[in-house]
């Protein structure tokens, strides 16, 4: 009988811009809130996995939380940092080594587009000097090709943003809390054709922590355990089209999202038709559209009808990014993947307030994607 894993506590520091509070301190707040949610103390944590991209080494936060001697492992895996911390915590409990522990992600980035460390990314100085080291260019080029192949319209790109800001307005933890109309999205500055300013998320700040426990002990901490049925992380294969690539192969591969998604569904023993609510990486609105198909929720091109018909709205057939996604929350890289899981726990507990998905959702899905071509997927159930 294999050990199952449950999420028994969740904590978050508000996303956005919090002047005067370091990214690390936002992580500490998230940890304290997660422990309180589980009715546990920091010294109950037997292990921790944590990471940030730009806000310091996670394990140093024990100096504020308490020097309890626990096993604390720092995780650094780009945009999949939070997802990788969760994956590691999940497997630590499944292996039987520990019964209860915590996954932590936090970050704080400078304003504006990400400044790419070309050396750290294995790229020559010429690449950045020539004006090619921008993640925004990749997003523009991927959706431009996709629109050409599958007939997605500019209107659908704008509707994804409109939905994100409408959902964000219902989320007290979100950064962007003002609804923005489809027309305002279309009329905002063209940053990287065909994507306008309000179609992009911004690097931001925030922290999330999740307390995990053996499922057979979850009742000790909560009367609403949420089970982690699958957690999978995959890197790119030959032929996939990824961010920050000076070249790509002529032959085509569907990419790491397709691989991570298939692996997660296999682990959980269910299929896309069983998912009631999904949080999909929406670095920009085109990404949400493409990731709907890459994660197996529709055929390529079907998104056009689904979005125009409102199927991905909170009250629709397949709600996507109910907390406003990256578009409304911003992207503190280390925390972003865990934010998605936090939202799904609220939705499955029935605690999502004004943005609660109706009809009692039972199974929820998260997907994170980032440089240099990595995807992480989780599946949660009640």
Least Cβ distance, residue 55 to other proteins (angstroms): 19
Closest CB to other proteins among residues 127, 318: 127
Closest CB to other proteins among residues 134, 280: 134
Say how many residues make up the chain: 382
In the chain, the N- to C-terminal Cα span, in Å, equals 20
CA distances from 171 to 38, 106, 209, 337 (A): 22, 19, 18, 17
Least Cβ distance, residue 242 to other proteins (angstroms): 11
CB atoms within 10 A of CB 131: 8
- DSSP at 298: S
CA distances from 83 to 115, 130, 351, 378 (A): 22, 32, 22, 8
Element (H, E) at 374: strand 374-381
Least Cβ distance, residue 191 to other proteins (angstroms): 5
Cβ neighbors of 200 (< 8 A, separation 6 or more) are 136, 139, 191, 192, 283, 284, 327
Closest CB to other proteins among residues 97, 129: 129
CB atoms within 10 A of CB 252: 10
**How buried is 139 (Cβ within 10 angstroms: 0-12 exposed, 13-18 middle, 19+ buried)?**
buried
Closest CB to other proteins among residues 121, 267: 121
Closest CB to other proteins among residues 253, 356: 253
Least Cβ distance, residue 235 to other proteins (angstroms): 11
Least Cβ distance, residue 275 to other proteins (angstroms): 30
Least Cβ distance, residue 150 to other proteins (angstroms): 13
Closest CB to other proteins among residues 246, 353: 246
Closest CB to other proteins among residues 64, 144: 144
Least Cβ distance, residue 291 to other proteins (angstroms): 18
- Residue-wise burial string across 309-348, b where 16 or more C-beta atoms lie within 10 A, e elsewhere: eebbbbeeebbbbbbbbbbbbbbbbbbbbbbbbbbbbbbb
Which of 124, 87, 117, 115 has its CA nearest to residue 103?
87
Least Cβ distance, residue 99 to other proteins (angstroms): 40
Least Cβ distance, residue 304 to other proteins (angstroms): 18
Closest CB to other proteins among residues 97, 249: 249
CB 164 within 8 A of CB 285: yes
Cis peptide bond prior to 372, omega within 30° of 0: yes
Positions touching other proteins (CB under 8 A) are 112-113, 115-116, 118, 124-134, 137, 140-142, 144-145, 148, 189-195, 238, 245-250
Between vectors from CA 2 to CA 8 and to CA 103, what angle results, nearest 5°?
A: 35
Closest CB to other proteins among residues 140, 296: 140
Element (H, E) at 279: strand 277-280
For residues 371 and 366, give the distance between their C-alpha atoms in angstroms, rounded to a whole number. 17
């Amino acid at each position: 009988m294999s050990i199952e894993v449950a999420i028994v506590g969740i904590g978050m520091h508000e996303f956005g811009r919090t002047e005067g509070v370091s990214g690390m301190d936002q992580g500490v707040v998230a940890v304290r809130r997660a422990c309180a949610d589980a009715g546990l103390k920091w010294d109950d944590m037997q292990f921790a996995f944590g990471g940030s991209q730009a806000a310091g080494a996670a394990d140093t936060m024990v100096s504020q939380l308490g020097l309890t001697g626990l096993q604390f492992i720092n995780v650094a895996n780009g945009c999949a940092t939070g997802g990788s911390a969760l994956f590691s915590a999940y497997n630590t409990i499944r292996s039987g080594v520990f019964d209860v522990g915590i996954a932590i992600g936090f970050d704080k980035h400078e304003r504006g587009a990400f400044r790419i460390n070309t050396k750290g990314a294995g790229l020559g100085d010429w690449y950045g000097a020539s004006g090619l080291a921008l993640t925004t260019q990749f997003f523009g080029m991927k959706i431009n090709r996709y629109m050409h192949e599958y007939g997605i319209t500019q209107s659908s790109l704008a509707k994804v943003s409109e939905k994100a800001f409408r959902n964000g307005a219902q989320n007290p933890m979100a950064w962007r809390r003002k609804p923005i109309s489809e027309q305002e999205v279309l009329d905002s500055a063209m940053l990287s054709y065909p994507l306008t300013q309000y179609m992009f998320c911004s690097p931001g700040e925030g922290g999330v922590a999740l307390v995990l426990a053996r499922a057979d002990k979850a009742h000790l901490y909560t009367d609403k355990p949420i089970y982690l049925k699958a957690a999978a992380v995959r890197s790119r294969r030959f032929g996939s089209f990824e961010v920050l690539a000076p070249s790509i192969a002529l032959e085509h591969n569907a990419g790491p999202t397709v691989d991570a998604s298939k692996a997660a569904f296999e682990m959980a023993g269910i299929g896309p038709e069983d998912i009631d609510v999904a949080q999909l990486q929406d670095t920009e609105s085109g990404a949400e559209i493409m990731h709907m198909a890459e994660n197996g929720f529709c055929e390529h091109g079907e998104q056009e009808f689904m979005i125009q018909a409102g199927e991905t709205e909170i009250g629709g057939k397949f709600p996507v990014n109910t907390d406003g996604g990256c578009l409304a929350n911003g992207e503190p890289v280390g925390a972003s993947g865990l934010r998605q899981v936090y939202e799904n726990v609220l939705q499955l507990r029935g605690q999502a307030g004004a943005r609660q998905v109706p009809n009692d959702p039972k199974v929820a899905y998260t997907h994170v994607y980032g440089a240099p071509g990595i995807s992480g997927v989780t599946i949660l159930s009640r």
